[in-house]
């Protein structure tokens, strides 16, 4: 069949391929995607690619400046901190803490949100309305504040932060998913599908989920940037990752006293947080634009 192309390509693509085509056209979004994938691989491979042990304290090399200054060493590109630990290795390790844990958090929140959102979206009447009003109430609390409260109750630590942010992100997911499902249910093709004999479960899995996954992706990318910022903020405030862990936020707060002696030890994690959030937002924005453009065609 592939020999005869009777029609031009662009109209004969599946919706996903069309989306990718529109996405590819945006350079900023592609840059974001490349950065995102890089961060992802660094966070997965962190234990294998760190040049030094990120927790090894070398007493002879305290506060080594980065290698581009005259006093620096090539083996320690970003220099060392006040305990003589290699900053590059700590950054790499930190990627899996800040970026990796943000991904896990969002994935967890997304799964829980899907279950609850589907329950809320597919049910009708008083049950659904009560549920929704409680959710709306939870939405009024900012996610960072909610996360701080939860951490204050269950105690500091990276794992607890993850749980806290997951719970804090949950209301917006449930709300978004419920609205998306609600919108889908109004479509003619849902009625048509029911008339074909499908039950609610089949309608949900075969019809609604494939049609809302794009919205879910956008929601998730936006949530990832929130999660990164929240994890870093909690780490910075001392509620999140604790002392030796090389989480980016915690690292900034650790080296804040040394900002005059070793500015790079504050600047680099800050820059990384910025880049990570930027990459995620670029991808999310690009997706949004691509979906909009596809609809226009």
Partner 1 sequence: MLLLDIKNLTIELETADGLVRAVDRVSLSLREGETRGLVGESGSGKSLIAKAIVGVLNRRWQVTADRFHWLGKDLLRLTPEQRRQIIGRDIAMIYQEPSRSLDPTAVIGEQLEEAIPDHLLSGPWWRRSALRRKKAVGLLHKVGVRDHQRVLQSYPYQLSEGICQKVMIAMAIAKNPKLLIADEPTTALESTTQAQLFRLLASFNQLKGMAVLLISHELESVARYTQKLSVLYCGQLVEAGETTQVLQAPLHPYTDALIKSVPEFQPDLAPKTPLYALPGSIPTLQHVPIGCRLGPRCPNARKECVKTPALERQQNHYFSCHFPLTTKGN
Partner 2 sequence: MTDLLEVQALSKGYTKQQGWFGRQHITALDDVSFTLAEGKTLAIVGETGSGKSTLAKLLVGIEKPDSGQILLAGQPVEISHYKKYNHVIRFIFQDAGRSLNPSQKVGQMLEDVLCFSTVLDQQQRRYKIGQTLKLLGLLDEHAEYYPHMFSGGQLQRVALARALILDPKLLILDEALTALDPTLRAQIVNLLLELQQSSGLAYLLISNQLRLVRHISDSILVLHQGKVVDYGTTTEVFAAPAHDYTKKLINSSAG
Q: Does 20 bind partner 2 (CB under 8 A)?
A: no
Is 12 among the residues that bind partner 2 (CB under 8 A)?
Answer: yes
Applying CB under 8 A, among 3, 4, 7, 70 the residue interacting with partner 1 is 7
Is residue 140 a contact residue for partner 2 (CB under 8 A)?
no
Binding footprint of partner 1, residue count (CB under 8 A): 6
Closest distance of CB 20 from partner 1, Å: 14
Alpha carbons 193 and 191: distance in angstroms, whole number: 5
Distance CA 197, CA 270 (A): 55
User: Of partner 2, partner 1, none, which one sits near residue 8, judging by CB under 5 to 8 A according to partner kind?
Assistant: partner 1
List of residues 6+ apart from 61 with CB closer than 8 A: 73, 76, 80, 84
Rg (CA), the chain: 23
25 binds partner 1 (CB under 8 A): yes
Does residue 217 bind partner 2 (CB under 8 A)? no
Task: Give the residue with the Cβ less far from partner 2, 38 or 205.
Answer: 205
Q: Which is nearer to partner 1, 11 or 199 (CB)?
A: 11
> What distance in Å separates the CA atoms of residue 183 and residue 217, rounded to the nearest whole number?
17
Quote the tokens at residue 224: 């990832």
- Find the shortest distance in angstroms from Cβ 24 to partner 1: 11
Residue 11 binds to partner 2 (criterion: CB under 8 A) = yes
Q: Find the part of the chain contacting partner 1 (CB under 8 A) among 8-16, 82-90, 163-171, 282-290.
A: 8-16
Please tell me whether residue 27 binds partner 2 under the rule CB under 8 A: no
In DSSP terms, 90 is beta-bridged to: none
Q: Which residue matches tokens 């090539």?
A: 74
295 near partner 1, rule: CB under 8 A = no
8 counts as binding partner 1 under rule CB under 8 A = yes
Which neighbouring-strand residues pair with 80? 86
How far apart are alpha carbons 230 and 193 in whole angstroms?
Answer: 42
Binding to partner 2 by residue 188, rule CB under 8 A?
yes
| Pair 181, 118: CB distance under 8 Å | yes
* Binding partner of 195, given partner 2, partner 1, none, CB within 5-8 angstroms per partner class: partner 2
Q: Footprint of partner 1 on this chain (CB under 8 A)?
A: 7-8, 10-11, 25, 297
| Residues in contact with partner 2 by the rule CB under 8 A | 1, 11-12, 14-15, 187-189, 191-198, 202, 206-207, 210-211
């Amino acid at each position: 069949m592939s020999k005869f192309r009777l029609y031009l390509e662009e109209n004969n693509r599946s919706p996903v391929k069309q989306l990718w085509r529109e996405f590819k056209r945006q350079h900023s979004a592609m840059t974001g995607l490349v950065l995102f994938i890089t961060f992802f691989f660094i966070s997965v491979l962190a234990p294998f690619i760190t040049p030094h042990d990120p927790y090894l304290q070398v007493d002879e090399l305290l506060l080594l400046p980065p290698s581009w200054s005259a006093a620096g060493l090539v083996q320690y590109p970003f220099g060392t901190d006040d305990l003589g630990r290699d900053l590059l290795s700590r950054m790499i390790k930190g990627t899996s803490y800040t970026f990796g844990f943000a991904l896990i958090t969002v994935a967890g929140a997304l799964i829980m949100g899907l279950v609850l959102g589907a329950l809320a979206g597919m049910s009708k009447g008083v049950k659904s309305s009560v549920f929704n009003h409680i959710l709306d109430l939870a939405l009024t609390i900012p996610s960072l504040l909610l996360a701080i409260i939860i951490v204050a109750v269950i105690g500091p630590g990276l794992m607890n932060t993850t749980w806290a942010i997951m719970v804090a992100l949950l209301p917006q997911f449930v709300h978004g998913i419920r609205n998306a499902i609600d919108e889908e249910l109004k479509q003619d093709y849902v009625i048509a599908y029911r008339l074909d004999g499908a039950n609610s479960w089949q309608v949900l899995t075969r019809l609604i989920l494939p049609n809302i996954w794009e919205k879910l992706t956008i929601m998730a990318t936006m949530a990832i940037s929130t999660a990164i910022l929240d994890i870093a903020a909690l780490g910075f405030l001392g509620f999140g990752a604790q002392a030796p862990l090389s989480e980016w936020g915690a690292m900034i707060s650790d080296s804040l006293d040394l900002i005059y002696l070793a500015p790079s030890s504050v600047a680099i994690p800050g820059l990384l947080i910025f880049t990570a959030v930027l990459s995620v937002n670029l991808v999310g924005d690009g997706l949004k634009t691509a979906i909009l453009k596809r609809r226009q065609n």
